[in-house]
């Protein structure tokens, strides 16, 4: 990963960075590059957040059947999906890359804190004071961005 200029990030309209946060990025040439990135990431739990339409939210909910998740309606046809999974639950990398390649707004938070709301006012809040890593993808999963971590 390398430091990225804020001005080069194309989808910041959904991200609320805190002052002085450094954004790192990694170009994802294909799914394999994401899998390598994911293998090197240390975490116990991962929060997955997806902003999507009503037609896809039903498919997503079926995929997460048996796991805790919540869906909040944001607009007429826009929904916010959120689930927290344990790393040991399943090999999640393939699903994450698929989600990022077909949805514009996929957010990931490693080891999220139970008392924090990471999505409010229509934006991902980059709250990393407890050691969380917050990640999001460029459109079509061409790149992944990350803030936080120790």
**Domain tally for the chain?**
1
Alpha-carbon distance 144 to 45, whole Å?
Answer: 19
For residue 80, how many other CB atoms are within 10 A of its CB?
Answer: 19
Alpha-carbon distance 49 to 108, whole Å?
Answer: 6
pLDDT in tens, 18-57: 888 899 998 888 888 888 888 888 889 999 998 887 778 7
What is the domain extent for residue 54? 2-148
Backbone angles phi, psi at 14, to 5 degrees: -105, 5
Contact criterion met (CB below 8 Å) for 82 and 125: no
Which runs of consecutive H residues, i.e. helices, occur in the chain?
Answer: 31-39, 54-63, 93-102
pLDDT band at 89, cuts 50/70/90?
Answer: low
pLDDT in tens, 100-134: 888 778 899 999 998 888 998 888 999 888 889 99
């Amino acid at each position: 990963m390398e430091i990225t200029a804020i001005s080069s990030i194309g989808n910041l309209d959904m991200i609320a960075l805190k002052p002085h946060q450094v954004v790192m990025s990694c170009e994802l040439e294909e799914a394999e590059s994401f899998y390598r990135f994911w293998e090197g990431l240390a975490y116990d739990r991962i929060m997955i957040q997806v902003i999507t339409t009503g037609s896809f939210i039903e498919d997503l909910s079926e995929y997460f059947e048996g796991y805790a998740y919540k869906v909040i309606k944001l607009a007429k046809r826009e929904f916010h999906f959120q689930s927290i999974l344990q790393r040991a639950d399943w090999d999640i990398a393939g699903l994450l890359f698929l989600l990022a390649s077909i949805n514009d707004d996929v957010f990931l938070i490693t080891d999220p804190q139970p008392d924090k709301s990471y999505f409010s006012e229509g934006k991902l809040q980059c709250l990393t004071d407890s050691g969380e890593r917050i990640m999001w993808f460029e459109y079509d999963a061409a790149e992944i961005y990350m803030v936080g971590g120790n």
